[in-house]
């Protein structure tokens, strides 16, 4: 690690210790203990070494944090041809892609914290990888945690207040983006406000345009309103993509605006259609988290020429 990299990492560690909101509360409002676990995993990487080295083991957790809870939500995936950077320990990091298939938008994922073993995934009810402190690598984005195990990669971060979390998962054959949160649902139409609630957040995903991939991360803002009386959501998604989608993001390009009027069920489930730039259309689905304080969606847009955009949305609502 170079001196400049070490200094930058020290600065990040100071931010973690200073309770920086974006880093220290990825699960705030959903599971406080899970948030503390994520902080500890992040702080475990504050020593030396480079991307290819494993980080120090995390300290022992308090007894009441051994099983902190599970975040659940929706996940969208697409197959493709991917390129990787290998690590000396045999694992590898996704760096680019040459093809991308049609997104599959009906996947579900659970993210659980399991004591010193780290984060346990369950995809579509069939189980999944477990990522711990020894799998942690330096993240591309300063407000996410990043893990590698074999050919599998796992990233997770949060919306501004942490009531919904965004993530990326890939297993060597598919590239997935998800939005998760507490499944504690609001009692819609019974205790909900008569006035619409506003929400804001951002999207993560991939824009496959002109045969090249661009990352939506953080540049793509999300806003809208939730009308509980009508059971409707007005959604606006400002799409911006950057080159070098899995390394240092470069050259932002404005892709346009997608919008839609979505339906929200009494259970908190959300579904609808999107109308995007240049004649693109698509679908969106997801749900409300943490008694309505968080909003998590997955989406896909298809262009008439075969280009496509897909990803996940995490947003926070005004407190009810």
pLDDT at position 182? 85
- Which domain, by its residues, includes 288? 186-317
- pLDDT by residue (tens digit) across 184-194? 765 554 445 56
Token pair for 47: 């020593």
Q: Is residue 254 part of a domain?
A: yes
CB atoms within 10 A of CB 221: 16
Q: Is residue 123 part of a domain?
A: no
Cβ partners under 8 Å of residue 14, min gap 6: none
CATH, residue 224: 2.40.160.90
Q: Is residue 130 part of a domain?
A: no
Lowest mean pLDDT among 141-145, 214-218, 224-228, 256-260: 141-145
Beta bridge partners of 123: 109
Instruction: Name the band, by pLDDT with cuts 50, 70 and 90, for residue 2.
Output: very low
Average the pLDDT over 153-170 and give the result: 86
Mean pLDDT of the chain: 77
Radius of gyration in angstroms for the set of CA atoms belonging to the chain, rounded to a whole number: 19
- pLDDT by residue (tens digit) across 54-100? 332 333 323 333 334 788 999 999 999 999 989 888 889 999 999 99
- pLDDT by residue (tens digit) across 99-149? 999 999 999 999 987 766 678 999 999 999 999 989 988 888 777 889 999
- Longest Cα–Cα distance of the chain, Å, equals 58
The answer to whether residue 320 scores a pLDDT higher than 80 is no
- pLDDT by residue (tens digit) across 17-68? 222 323 233 334 333 334 444 444 444 434 333 333 333 233 332 333 333 4
Report pTM. 0.80
Q: Is residue 12 part of a domain?
A: no
Q: Is residue 37 part of a domain?
A: no
- pLDDT by residue (tens digit) across 278-319? 999 999 999 998 878 889 999 999 999 999 999 999 999 875
Name the pairing type of β-strands 119-123 and 136-137: unpaired
pLDDT at position 50? 35
Q: Is residue 112 part of a domain?
A: no
Q: Is residue 138 part of a domain?
A: no
**Structural domain count of the chain:** 1
3-state secondary structure of 9: helix
Listed residue (198, 213, 161, 206) closest to 182, CA to CA: 161
Instruction: Name the band, by pLDDT with cuts 50, 70 and 90, for residue 249.
Output: confident
Instruction: Name the band, by pLDDT with cuts 50, 70 and 90, for residue 166.
Output: very high
CA distance 10 to 53: 17
CA distance 73 to 212: 28
Give the position of tokens 């999107």: 274
Q: How many CA atoms lie within 13 A of 36 on its CB side?
A: 16
Q: Is residue 201 part of a domain?
A: yes
Q: Is 24 exposed, middle or buried (0-12, 13-18, 19+ CB in 10 A)?
A: buried
Element counts in the chain: helices (H) and strands (E): 3, 19
pLDDT at position 113? 78
Token pair for 84: 């990787």
């Amino acid at each position: 690690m170079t001196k400049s990299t070490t200094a930058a990492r020290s600065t990040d560690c100071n931010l973690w210790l200073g309770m920086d909101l974006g880093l220290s509360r990825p699960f705030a409002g959903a599971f406080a203990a899970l948030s503390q676990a994520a902080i500890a995993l992040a702080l475990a990487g504050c020593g030396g070494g480079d991307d290819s080295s494993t980080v120090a083991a995390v300290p022992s957790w308090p007894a009441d944090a051994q099983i902190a809870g599970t975040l659940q939500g929706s996940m969208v995936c697409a197959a493709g041809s991917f390129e990787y950077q290998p690590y000396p320990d045999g694992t590898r990091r996704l760096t680019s892609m040459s093809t991308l298939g049609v997104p599959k938008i009906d996947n579900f994922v659970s993210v659980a914290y399991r004591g010193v073993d780290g984060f346990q995934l369950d995809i579509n009810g069939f189980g999944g990888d477990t990522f711990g402190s020894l799998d942690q690598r330096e993240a591309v984005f300063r407000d996410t945690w990043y893990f590698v195990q074999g050919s599998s990669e796992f990233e997770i971060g949060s919306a501004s207040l942490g009531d919904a979390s965004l993530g990326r998962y890939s297993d060597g054959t598919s590239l997935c983006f998800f939005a998760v949160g507490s499944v504690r649902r609001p009692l819609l139409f019974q205790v909900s406000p008569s006035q619409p609630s506003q929400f804001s957040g951002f999207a993560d995903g991939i824009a496959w345009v002109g045969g090249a991939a661009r990352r939506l991360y953080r540049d793509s803002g999300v806003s809208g309103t939730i009308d509980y009386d009508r059971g409707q959501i007005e959604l606006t998604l400002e799409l911006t993509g950057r080159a070098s989608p899995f390394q240092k993001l470069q050259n932002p390009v404005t892709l346009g605006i997608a919008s839609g009027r979505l339906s929200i069920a009494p259970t908190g489930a959300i579904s609808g259609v999107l109308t995007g730039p240049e004649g693109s259309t698509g679908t969106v689905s997801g749900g409300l988290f943490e008694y309505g304080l968080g909003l998590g969606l997955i989406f896909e847009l298809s262009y008439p020429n075969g280009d496509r955009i897909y990803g996940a949305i995490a947003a926070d609502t005004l407190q009810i």
